[in-house]
C-alpha cells in the first residue's frame, strides 16, 4: 500500500487543506500521530532543514512528502535518495553532479540537489553519508551553493533539505562517524516519528494526511484503503 501511495504522490502538490483542530487532520489518527501532523504543518512553513528520526517502518518518507506538500515549494520537485543504497564513491556525483573535460569540451552531469531546485531533497539514511560528502553538504546548507565534482565554479541552488535516520546521530558524532557541525545544522527542526508498524490504522492516517496536503489544487480525492 505504501509503495502505491508513493507512486500516486509523484505529482506536483497543492495547498494545505484547512482543518479546525489538530486532532481533526484525519479520522482515526492517534493522539501521537495528531501531534506529528501538527509538527509537520509548523515545519512546512520554514526553509530550515528538517531531521526526521524513527525506527524502520515509521513512514519517514511520507512525513517528508507531507512537509514538502505543505510548503511554499510544493510546486517544485520532491527528490528522494537513499544514502545507504549506493557505493560511497557514487554518492557525491549523484548529489552534487560532476564535470569533466572531453576533447576540450566540458561535460556536465546535473546532480540531485540541482534537479530538486525550487523544491525539496529528501536524504534517507543520512548517517550513511561519507564524511567527505558530509562536508560538501554542510557547505551547501551554509552558503546555498554547490560545486560539481571535478568543477571549480560555485553554483547557487535553492533546494530545501529534509533528512531521515533510524540511527542515533549523537552517538555517531561521538564515534566520529558523523560531523558535529553538520548535525548541528540539520537538527534545528527535529521530527521524531512514533512506531507505526504495529498500528495499521496510523499508517493509513499518515497516508490520508499526505494526500490532503496535495489534493486541493490537483483535485485528487481518492481515499487510501488497506487493500
The domain limits of the chain are: 2-218
Residue 108 and residue 121: Cα distance in Å, rounded? 20
Say whether pLDDT at 53 is over 80. yes
Average pLDDT over residues 122-129: 96
Residues 49 and 110 sit within 8 Å (Cβ to Cβ): no
Can you read off the three cell numbers belonging to residue 169? 546521530
Say whether pLDDT at 227 is over 50. no
Residues 72 and 215 sit within 8 Å (Cβ to Cβ): no
Say whether pLDDT at 8 is over 90. no
Q: Regarding predicted confidence, which is higher, 199 or 18?
A: 199
Reported pTM? 0.80
Question: In sequence order, what are the residues at sequence separation of 6 or more whose Cβ sits closer than 8 angstroms to the Cβ of residue 175?
Answer: none
Work out whether the CA dihedral 144, 79, 133, 91 comes out positive or negative.
negative
Say whether pLDDT at 13 is over 90. no
- Domain range 2-218, CATH class: alpha beta
CA–CA–CA angle 165, 168, 169 (5° rounding): 80
Average pLDDT over residues 70-78: 90
- Lowest average pLDDT, out of 53-67, 160-174, 180-194, goes to 53-67
pLDDT of residue 35: 86
- CA distances in angstroms from 206 to 121, 132, 189, listed in the order given: 20, 35, 20
In which band, very low, low, confident or very high, does the pLDDT at 20 lie, cut at 50, 70 and 90? very low
Amino acid at each position: 500500500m505504501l509503495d502505491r501511495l508513493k507512486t500516486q504522490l509523484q505529482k506536483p502538490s497543492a495547498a494545505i487543506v484547512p482543518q479546525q483542530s489538530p486532532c481533526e487532520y484525519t479520522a482515526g489518527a492517534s493522539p501521537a500521530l495528531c501531534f506529528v501532523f501538527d509538527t509537520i504543518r509548523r515545519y512546512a512553513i520554514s526553509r530550515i532543514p528538517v531531521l526526521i528520526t524513527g525506527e524502520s517502518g515509521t513512514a519517514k518518507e511520507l512525513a517528508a512528502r507531507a512537509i514538502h506538500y505543505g510548503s511554499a515549494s510544493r510546486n517544485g520537485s520532491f527528490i528522494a535518495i537513499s544514502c545507504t543504497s549506493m557505493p560511497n564513491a557514487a554518492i557525491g556525483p549523484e548529489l552534487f553532479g560532476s564535470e569533466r573535460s572531453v576533447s576540450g569540451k566540458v561535460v556536465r552531469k546535473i546532480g540531485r540537489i540541482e534537479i530538486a531546485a525550487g523544491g525539496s531533497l529528501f536524504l534517507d539514511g543520512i548517517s550513511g553519508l561519507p564524511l567527505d560528502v558530509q562536508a560538501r553538504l554542510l557547505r551547501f546548507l551554509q552558503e546555498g551553493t554547490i560545486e560539481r565534482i571535478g568543477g571549480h565554479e560555485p553554483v547557487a541552488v535553492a533546494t530545501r533539505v529534509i533528512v531521515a535516520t533510524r540511527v542515533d546521530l549523537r552517538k555517531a558524532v561521538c564515534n566520529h562517524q558523523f560531523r558535529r557541525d553538520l548535525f548541528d545544522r540539520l537538527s534545528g527542526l527535529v521530527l521524531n516519528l512514533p512506531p507505526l508498524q504495529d498500528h495499521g490504522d496510523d499508517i493509513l492516517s499518515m497516508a490520508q494526511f499526505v494526500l490532503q496536503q496535495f489534493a486541493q489544487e490537483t483535485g485528487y480525492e481518492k481515499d487510501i484503503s488497506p487493500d
